[in-house]
Structure formats: structure tokens, C-alpha cells
Chains A and B, each alone.
Chain A
Amino acid sequence: MKNHITQKLGFLGLFLCISITLLFLGAIIFFITARGIKVISWEFLTQVPRSGMTAGGIAPAIVGTFYITLGAILFALPLGLACAIYLCEYSPKGIVVNIIRISINNLAGVPSVVFGLFGLAVFVKYFKFGVSILSGSLTLGILVLPLIISSTQEALLAVPQSIREASLSLGATKWKTIKNIVLPTALPGILTGVILSIGRVAGETAPILFTAAAFYTRGFPKSAFSEVMALPYHIYALMTEGAHPDKQRAIAYGCSLVLLLMVLCISGIAIFIRQRQKGLHG
């Protein structure tokens, strides 16, 4: 009888924990949607800001976030893929590789504002890229490199040894085996990592603070060396600067909702791909 009560209490405790978690999630979504939906319109999504950020739209910030994210992935994906392939398939297993692996994991733990400072020192100043899409993309690229490397490694390790052996036993070279068998099999896993990285990059503020973002640009960016508006920084700027806090706050909620929806869409794609992968191999 006593056991029975303990069990009930245990379940109740667990149920409470999950309820609290879901409550927060629901509250965030409700709060942002309720306040943000009011300002969202076709004009809001497609126009440039006007009247000192109190009217018009946020199109340059959407476009800026898109460019920075695209640039970061274009930089980090080939590099991360190559690192992961080397670590998983080529490097001899041993102490050196373990140290490299631990280092990469530690890189993932570096606070994002530190990446921002690094980007400022190296890309903006040293390479003289200036505050630009390029500097921001490279900084964010380095930020997600560990994520891409570790998710790719996981995907590669999940490819059964037996089909590598099958390929080699047919007279395929190691490289052909990796290219034709291992990578295609690992592709859904790799893509999931990429898409999660996109979600991460799109939402980061600190790394672009000093490297890419501008509070206001006239129109859209002209080249990779232009500074840009970006959604996360735009939200920050609207809440901390400017002369019309009340009007700006409403727009900030609108931006938050747009950013949330962008990341949600991207995660949705990740879930879709993962499900399809399960369907293929299960």
C-alpha cells in the first residue's frame, strides 16, 4: 500500500514537471503571438522601415538574416563535413583524435559573445572585411562548426560497418566507399544537423553585434561587404535605442514572431527529414 502511494506521488511529480515546461513553452508562444500578430501585415514583411523605426516594415532585416545565415552555412558546411569525414573515416583512432574531439566539443561551449569579439578582431579588423555580411557569416560559421561536425560525426558513425565492408569487398576504394555509400546513407542525419544549425544561426545576436549588424540601413544590402539589418539584432535595438519606445516595442514583438516562425519552419523541415529517414531504414 505504501509503495502504491509512493508511485502515485512519483508520477504526479513527473507530471507537474512536464506541465511546467509545457506551460512556459505555451506562454512564450502565446505572449509573442498575441503581441506580435497585430503589426504583421504584407507591408510589414515587404517594406523598409520608415519614420525612425516606428512605421513601415522589416524587410531588410529578414533579407539580412537570410544572407547571414546562408553565408554561415556555405562556410561551415563544407569545412565541417570535411573535418567530420577526416575524424571518422581517416584519422587513426587514438589519443590525438580524442583531444581534437574534446577540443571541438569545447568550442561548442564558448559563449557566443566571445565569438563576436573574435570575429571583430579577426574578420572585421585584421582581414579588413569591415562590419559586413561576410564578417558576420564567418563568425556565425565558426560558431556552428562544432554543431555541424558533431552531428555529421554521429551520422557517419551510424552507418553500419557491414555496408562499408561490402563496398570495399567489391573492389571500391576507401574514398569511393565514402562518397557512394557512406555519405548518401548518412545524408539525412547530416541534413538534420545542418537545419538545426540554420535555426541556431538565424537566432544568434551576440556574434553579429560587432561584426555584421546595423540598426538601420537605407534599403537592402548591396554586396557581401555591406553591413546589414538582422532580425535578432533588430529586436534588441528596437528595445534599447530610439526615441519612441512604445511604438518600437510593438514592432519588436512583430519581429520576434517572424523570427520564431522562421526558426519553427526550419525545425519543421528537420523533423520531416528525420521522419523520412526512419521510414527508409526502419
Chain B
Amino acid sequence: MDKRTKIKAENVDFFYGKTHALKNINLKFYENQVTAIIGPSGCGKSTFIRLLNRMNELVPHTNLTGKILLDGADIFDASVDAVEVRKRVGMVFQKPNPFPKSIFDNISYGLTVNGVKDKNFIDDKVEESLKKAALWQEVKDRLHESALKLSGGQQQRLCIARTLAVESETILFDEPCASLDPISTAKIEELILELKKDYTIVIVTHNMQQAARVSDYTAFFLMGELIEFGKTQEIFTAPKDDKTEAYITGRFG
């Protein structure tokens, strides 16, 4: 089966000052598939994922060469607005980061800043997003309470719901379960598998079992280089590169 490419990185090099953080990365993300990016700390996986929605621009003194194509168009082209890219490519961060606002306002925020005024539409969207993120049952009676009162796992699902509300096409997960307990982690993983019907998903993870459980494709990064990319099953059962094998069998990292 031929899969459509949603995002494609072409010859991407990235520098923090003089540090060469990413070296000639070429990588494809297929539509409606989950792609996991694995690798030891400092290998450049988080740096890479933050290029995909242009979050790298918040850090000064960086330099990028190469192209990142979203549906065939370079997101770093001078004519493209980073704000538009971020609407299409949502992101869930390592630590749950709800706004210090109510649960409802956390979800509606992405709509109102993008100019949505219709109150009924917002109400419906909040409910729909919370349902999709499997949080509705737990919070429907306290939508106007502070989001900071939720547990860590609930906060992370709230952050996912917040991203769903703006109807992005792709969601980037940057180690979304790093600070969660196993039960919350299981819920998030279930959710990712559900969401892939409608979204293209990229997930950075330290957890090899997690990559094996949720992803269709896996990319292994080491020292800023892409060592190996392929179907998850193949990477985990028959890796082509010795370094990949060493990493997934736990010999380093």
C-alpha cells in the first residue's frame, strides 16, 4: 500500500551557535501513521521535532539549512507565516502545561485567538475535543474550575484536547508521558492510537516499549544523525544498523 507523505525533511542541518545539532536529516512522515523518534538524551530528537512546527525560532542564535515540506510546501519559506504552520501542526509537550485558566478556557483559547466568536460553536468544540481526548466524563461537571487542579495525567489529556480543538492535521508529541504514571501513560497511548485515524502523529519517546506499542514507523537518532528509519516492527526485530540494535537492546542510552 502506498502511503501519502505528510511531512518530509530534506537535507536538514541545524546549528545551536556552533554546535551542529542535526546533521543532514532526510525523513518522511506518512499521513495517518504514527512515527516514533527514539534515541538517547541529546541525540537531537526533540530539536528535530521542534523544527516541524517552527518552535525552534523561539531560541536565538540558531541556524537551519535544508527544507521541511508540509504537504509539499516548505514551511520555512519566506512567504509562510509561522503562526499558520503552528495551526496546522499541533504540539503536546513533555510536561503538561495547561494555562492557569479554567478547563473550558484552556480548550477555547486556541479558537478565540484564531478569531472564532460563535459561542455555540465554541461550546460544541470544547465538548467534542474533551470527548476525543477521553477526558469529558471526568471534567464535564467542573469545566469552569482551574485546570491546575487536575492530576498530571488529566492535565496532559487536557493539553491534547486543546490541540485537537484547533483542528490541526498533525500532532507532535514531545515525550508526552515523561512525567506520568503507568496508568496515565496507558490512557495517552490508547488515545494516540485512536487519533491516528484523523491525524498524522509524530512522537518523541525515551521509552522503547512505548515506541513499539504505538508506532507504525520508527526513526533512530544518534548524535544528531538519523541512523535508521523503517517500519517499527522491522526496526525492533531486525535492525539493519549495529548501533540501532545496540540501543534497542539496551546496551547504551
Residues of A within 8 A of B (CB): 92-93, 160, 162-173, 176, 180-181, 184-185, 280-281
Contacts and interface: CB of A to CB of B under 8 A. Distances in A.
Chain A interface mostly: helix
Contacts of A172: 83, 109-110, 113-114
B148 interface: yes
A166 B60 contact: no
A177 to B, nearest CB: 8
Given A163-B98, A169-B91, A170-B87, 8 more contacts: A165-B55, A167-B113, A169-B53, A170-B166, A172-B109, A185-B99, A280-B148, A281-B100
Interface pairs A-B: 7 shortest CB-CB: A171-B87, A170-B110, A162-B97, A169-B91, A172-B113, A166-B97, A176-B113
A165 B58 contact: yes
A168 B58 contact: yes
Contacts, number: 72
A171 B166 CA distance: 8
Contact of A280 (B55, B86, B98, B100): B100
A159 to B, nearest CB: 9
Interface string B144-177: 0010100000000001001100100000000000
Nearest to A180: B113
B187 interface: no
A166 to B, nearest CB: 5
B110 A171 contact: yes
Nearest to B95: A162
B109 A167 contact: yes
A162 B95 CA distance: 8
Given A171-B110, A281-B148, A185 B100 contact: yes
Contacts of A160: 97
